[in-house]
Amino acid sequence: MKNKFVAIIASFFLLASMTSLKAEANFGISFIAAQSEVSGSEQENGSADDKNTKTVEETFYGASVFLEGVADNGFAIGIDYVPVDLEIGSGSRTDTDGGHSSGEADTGTRKASADLEDLITLYTNIPFGENGYYGLAGYHFVSVSTSETLPNSSYGNTDINGYQIGFGKRTDTYKAEVFYSDFEDISLTATGGSGSHKIEADADAIGFKLSLLFLLKLKS
pLDDT of amino acid 87: 76
Selected residue with higher pLDDT from 164 and 116: 164
CB 44 within 8 A of CB 197: yes
pTM equals 0.80
Which candidate, 42, 44, 199, places its Cα nearest to that of 107? Answer: 44
* Percent of the chain scoring above 70 in pLDDT: 72
Quick one: average pLDDT of 28-45?
Answer: 86
Domain count along the chain: 1
Q: Give the residue numbers spanning the domain of 144.
A: 2-216
What is the distance between the alpha carbons of residues 82 and 213, in angstroms, rounded to a whole number? Answer: 16
CATH of the domain at 137: 2.40.160
Quick one: average pLDDT of 27-35?
Answer: 95
Confidence of residue 56 (pLDDT cuts 50, 70, 90): confident
